[in-house]
Chain A
Amino acid sequence: MNEVAFLAWVRGIGFQIALGIFIVGMVVRWLEIFLLGKKHDYSAPKGSAVQGAIHTIFSRSIPEKSTWQRSRVQIVTGYVFHVGLLLIILFLTPHITLFREFLGFGWAGLPNSVVDLIAVITMFALLVALVRRLQDPVLRFISTFQDYLVWTVTFLPLLTGYMAYHHLGFSYPTILGLHILSVEILLVLFPFTKLMHAITLFIARGFNGATAGHKGVQA
């Protein structure tokens, strides 16, 4: 397979396979969670479960004070790479072009030099996260194969995207193809790994916040 055919494959059949698995997986996982249901709570409420849920969905994005004091590096690293990933995914012009294909509308992108800088910072933050996972006693203890797998498939799209932009290592069609392929791998693994947290954390926060809200606690 030559590089143009490879690029055509990842943009064509490869993408369709990945998207198909992604959607099927996401829907299945979502239904698997919700169809398990939650028992009705007979205890008299002290506050609103709905308000608690909404509150926690947002408030949990901000670390609580004592956690912040105890785990600064961890929190900053997490923030940087999450915000970085979000900015890169949503504000690089070629990515917006892709979203427009699905959504029918687009939005203004950031200049490439800015996204480039964000990519470098994000990759650095991910590397720090990896080093911490390997060195911190707690992180090393609780980490499984999946944690390293997910780190890798998150890092690769950034790395290949960066390499494509700077013409490093491969010809442009090859590295662009690898970049798209790396995202497809991410899509395929997404519903079946902890990457799923990007969606389920809102459900988790909602349930936690509802329980707390019912009891009159701001969680």
Chain B
Amino acid sequence: MSNASFSRGYQALKAQIDAPIAAYFSSCVHCGLCAEACLFFTETRDPKYTPIHKLEPLRKVWEQEYTLVGKLKAWFGLSTPLHDQELADWQEFIYNSCTLCGRCSLVCPVGNDLSYMIRKEREGMVAAGHAPDGQISAAKRAITVGSPMGVKFPALQAQIKHIEKDTGFIVPVNQVGAEYMVTLSSMEIMNYPEYLEALARIFKHAGKTWTLCSEAFEATNTGIQIGSSDIARELVSRLVNAAERLQVKTLVSPECGHAYTAIRWEGANLMGKAFTFKVQHILEVLEELRQQGKLKTEGLETARMTFHDPCQLVRRGGVIDEPRNLLKTVAQNFVEMEDAGKMNWCCGAGGGVGAIEQAHELKTRVFQRKISQLDAIKVETVVTACANCRITLEEGFEAYNREMPVLGLTELIAQHLVEEPATENAHE
């Protein structure tokens, strides 16, 4: 075991530099367009939240360690080396005011993937001991207890019993050879048990085999959020081992943005090998079932609805059309908010921001963006597909005194499933 120190952090930053980062820093012209892409700037108008500014520590390491010019500059005393206080000061920018939403990465005219770099920068912050307390605690709980919110399997078991009792469906656990292995975010277990119930309903309806795993049901990955590949790897490996042991075809990521990024994109790279199973977000699974005709719905919601795109699904995941196709099968009055889809604005609490106490006020302040987006289209209900977005939306509406129900898309679909496909017409 090593100790958190500046030198450990600096070493970690040095280890992050690759060709893309070198190309990105070489290309920045300080045009400032990334500021207008970041909701922490647009809602506060404070220049310190300009995304490229948040990368100054990493830029210094790149310039001073990996360029001849930077070495010359340092030699002539034209640049100051990175120091510990600077990293400490940057916690506010690297964590509190960045949700890794990736909007800046799509806006930058020279093509810099800024959120890729922030993610890398966090590796150094963690190693230096400058990660925020809230995220440290969440990471500890995830590793020791199994979930960042401290949910243990018995709690889930209680939920399962409830569901089985209420609905008569069976919720399979540790079923070897199932087609789908379903994972959850602890937020869903604690706050939105409807989700698990919906899954049970949907898989039964579609006639697919599925299972939960008692040792790996938590999909959220605090390692990704805090920015530690070591912690992230430990968490991902639990899911990977479970999926391999249960010999499932597909590992299903829950309604959560970062869980998807963690297992779908970073997972295989953390493990250093390609997966033997497929990874899909629940929306991708649902859309696939819909296209196969295995998802028959009836009745349409009449309320004016919109869909809030979780950042990690659209910008960092490519899940854009799926929620729209699904929602249109059950909603009559579906409207898009401005910038919907790939450029949608973040709820303000992704990327671990929700776990940071010091960021609470800022998070609420920047929620103004969501409020104005929604006010403009006058909807009655917001649908989303990320438990973290969902709780942030609910808290935000409360803070801004808005009466606005927030639904998970999976539950909404489940509510509209045709009970018995054979007696479809009898229901009318």
Contact = CB atoms under 8 A, between A and B. Distances in A.
B68 A28 contact: yes
B201 interface: no
Interface of A: 28-29, 32-39, 41-44, 46-47, 56-57, 60-61, 63-67, 70-71, 74-75, 78, 136-144, 147, 192, 194, 196-197, 200-201, 203-209, 211-212, 215-219
A36 B18 contact: yes
B110 interface: yes
Contacts of A47: 318
A67 B107 contact: yes
Contacts of A212: 106, 318
Interface in B305-350: 314-318, 320, 338-339, 342-343
Given A38-B18, A43-B267, A216-B318, A201 B106 contact: no
B19 interface: yes
Contacts, number: 179
Interface of chain B, main secondary structure? helix
Contacts of A75: 33
Interface of chain A, main secondary structure? helix
Contact of A142 (B47, B272, B320): B47
B31 A56 contact: no
Contact-residue size bin, chain B (C-beta under 8 Å from the other chain): 35 or more
A207 B24 contact: yes
A53 to B, nearest CB: 10
A178 B271 CA distance: 59
Contacts of A139: 30-32
Nearest to B47: A141
A13 B388 CA distance: 64
A25 B163 CA distance: 67
Contacts of A35: 19
Nearest to B318: A216
Contacts of B267: 43
A29 B315 CA distance: 30
9 contacts: A33-B26, A57-B111, A142-B47, A144-B30, A204-B112, A207-B23, A208-B105, A208-B116, A215-B316
A194 B66 CA distance: 16
Contact of B109 (A60, A147, A196): A60
A161 B29 CA distance: 24
Contacts of B50: 138, 141-142
Nearest to A28: B68
A217 B260 CA distance: 14
